[in-house]
Amino acid sequence: MVKILPSEITPEHLFLNRRQFMAASGALAGALALSACAPGLGGEPASEIGALQPAVTAPLGPEKLPAALAYTEPTASSGQDELGDPLNTFQEITNYNNFYEFSTSKEAVASAAASFQSYPWQVAVTGLVNNPLTLDLDDLYARYTQQEHIFRLRCVEAWSMVIPWVGFPIAELLKEADPQSNAQYVQFVTVYRPEEMPGQRSNILEWPYQEGLRIDEAMNPLAILATGVYGKPLTNQQGAPVRLVVPWKYGFKSIKSVVSIVLTDTLPATTWNTAAPHEYGFYANVNPAVDHPRWSQASERRIGENGRRPTLPFNGYAEEVAALYAGMDLTRSF
Amino acid sequence: MAHAASQSRPRSRRGPDWFWWAVTAAALLPFALLGVQAWTGSLGVDPVNTVYNLSGRAALVTLLLSLACTPLNTILGWRRALSVRKALGLIAFFYAVVHTANFVGWDYAFDLGLMLNDALLSKPYLLAGSLALGILGVLALTSTRSWMRRLGRSWKRLHRLVYGAGALAVLHFLWQAKVGERWEPLVYAGLLAALLALRLPALRRRLSPQQ
């Protein structure tokens, strides 16, 4: 597989930083961006965007956010992934979501999540670390370079998409937290807000949703924390404002709306594995050789295509990640 | 023969009435909806999945409605229900065919090898669904009056297989459902079990109105 080269383009949503939108008033996203950063340069086209760091100005209330988003067009640096597969559309990506906190119906999640408050937000990094962190969104944006990562997403239900995420390798955040030598796993927890997430008021799964990675998996550069897609902030249905993306694993590993990251020395319980251990393993690496009792894992339906395409080992990222599992029997550690 | 004739002839000789047309049209509404959605390109992000869900549910519901016709007559004395039993059964088969055509044509794009290895031979839920389709096919084929005559008394026994088809269809639904979505097939399973129980002579006699 070709090496993944994240685009050098800094995503638009950095400029749509929640604290600076007031300057916008009808301008294009690019203009927004530059005016926020370098007053007086307003009106530049979006293509002129450079690697900018968001400045902090007057606070912008979350109620302004939808208006801000209306001005940005979905943008990506390329129309395809490194295998030549075309990107799925913004429309597809944001209207077909598995997010049981809102609905078990993939096409109903977007509307059910519309009023979710993803701002303000804090992510805590705790557990076996020398430097526990509590970061709000502005910290995440300011400390870690947000870059585009075009990844395939393979759902365990045997459908898939190609998605231009925006985010940063979680390794950067973990290094800053400085894991202790006995830290072996990283646990992730979704926000628990049953008043805003109707699914959490039923017992279809154990809430809050939890996921986990081995620490060496989490340190792999392909494991990212995503804050955006198509150059825009994540929509609520995608797990706003920050979510995990682990492209070589089935989609349910890529936990959404993360509030807690805990370094541990024991294998963390994960939600789907707890619900049905025979169907969903801890590793959940995309593996056409290990069947699921219901869905074929040897082929998949790419959203937007007719017919099926073969599923690739590690979802096509074997070159980057297979070494993590050297010597393991992946039919047992599925 | 006399029994079968007394059940179906007098009404059908008059031809379909407004009730028959109304029920048939209502049962075909989901198909009309699919047609409209396909025409306007609003089958959603994953059209294959939309067609699966709609045609599968429609098949199960129309099958259950068809099975409800006999107890509606024997227990509630609503004879008119019998006039739509066959139409509902045939429509259930029709939806099962749509469901299968979606699988073969749209999902697997007629890749028979892939379909066999990837799905049919390895997924119990697909085996259950295929058997249900097969049974409904045989019942649809033998649903004509000439087949009724030809098969005589065994026609009725053959058509009791419809409960087997229903059970297999419910299993097909249940086995592919995720945790958290199993309540729906379980509701259908409960309805099917209740409808079957109503056919048991002991229960039927207790519930039937005094003749």
What structural domains does chain A harbor?
A: 78-325 (3.90.420.10)
Most B CBs within 10 Å, among A272, A301, A305, to test the B interface: A301
| pLDDT tens by residue, chain B, 211 residues | 344 444 444 445 567 899 999 999 999 999 999 999 999 999 999 999 999 999 999 999 999 999 999 999 988 989 999 999 999 999 999 999 999 999 999 999 999 988 888 888 888 899 999 999 999 999 999 999 999 999 999 999 999 999 999 999 999 999 988 877 889 999 999 999 999 998 887 777 777 765 5
What pLDDT is attached to residue B16?
A: 83
What pLDDT is attached to residue A83?
A: 96
What pLDDT is attached to residue B209?
A: 65
Residues A233, A167: Cα–Cα separation, whole Å: 10
In B106-125, the residues whose Cβ lies within 8 Å of chain A are 106-109, 111, 114, 117-119, 122-125
| pLDDT tens, residue by residue, A191-227 | 999 999 999 999 889 999 999 999 999 999 999 999 9
Given pLDDT bands bounded at 50, 70 and 90, which one contains residue A45? very low
Higher pLDDT, A185 or B112: A185
Residue A42 has pLDDT above 50, yes or no: no
Peptide linkage before A120 cis (omega within 30 of 0): yes
By Cβ distance, the residue of B45, B123, B176 closest to A303 is B45
Q: Nearest 10 degrees: CA dihedral of B182, B187, B189, B191? A: 180
What pLDDT is attached to residue A48?
A: 32
Q: Is A242 exposed, middle or buried (0-12, 13-18, 19+ CB in 10 A)?
A: buried
What residue spans define the domains of chain B? 2-207
What pLDDT is attached to residue A282?
A: 96
Given pLDDT bands bounded at 50, 70 and 90, which one contains residue A62? very low
Would the CB atoms of A291 and B122 count as touching at under 8 Å?
yes
Q: What is the DSSP string of chain B?
A: -HHHHHHHHHHHHT---HHHHHHHHHHHHHHHHHHHHHHHT-S-S-HHHHHHHHHHHHHHHHHHHHHHHHHHHHTT--GGGGGGHHHHHHHHHHHHHHHHHIIIIIISTT-HHHIIIIIITT-HHHHHHHHHHHHHHHHHHTTSHHHHHHHTHHHHHHHTHHHHHHHHHHHHHHHHPPTTSTHHHHHHHHHHHHHHHHHSHHHHHHHSPP-
Residue range A56-63: average pLDDT?
37
| pLDDT tens, residue by residue, A110-145 | 999 999 999 899 999 999 999 999 999 988 988 999
Any CB–CB contact under 8 A between B180 and chain A? yes
State how far residue A157 is from chain B, nearest Cα, in angstroms: 9
Would the CB atoms of B109 and A306 count as touching at under 8 Å?
yes
What pLDDT is attached to residue A184?
A: 97
What pLDDT is attached to residue A221?
A: 97
Chain B residues inside the 8 Å CB shell of A296: 118-119, 122-123
Residue A8 has pLDDT above 90, yes or no: no
Residue A88 has pLDDT above 80, yes or no: yes
Residue A30 has pLDDT above 50, yes or no: no
Would the CB atoms of B123 and A296 count as touching at under 8 Å?
yes
What pLDDT is attached to residue B204?
A: 75
Residue range A279-293: average pLDDT?
90
What pLDDT is attached to residue B210?
A: 56
Residue A21 has pLDDT above 60, yes or no: no
The region of weakest confidence among A3-7, A40-44, B100-104, B200-204 is A40-44
What pLDDT is attached to residue A256?
A: 98
Higher pLDDT, A142 or A238: A238
Any CB–CB contact under 8 A between B174 and chain A? no
For residue A79, give the amino acid letter. G
C-alpha closest to that of A69 among A244, A243, A228: A228
What pLDDT is attached to residue A98?
A: 96
Nearest-Å Rg of the Cα atoms of chain B is 18
A239: left (phi over 0), alpha (psi -120 to 50) or beta: left
Mean pLDDT, chain A, integer = 83
What pLDDT is attached to residue A39?
A: 36
Would the CB atoms of A100 and B175 count as touching at under 8 Å?
no
Residue A36 has pLDDT above 50, yes or no: no
Chain B nearest-CA residue for A311? B118
State how far residue A327 is from chain B, nearest Cα, in angstroms: 27
What pLDDT is attached to residue A292?
A: 80
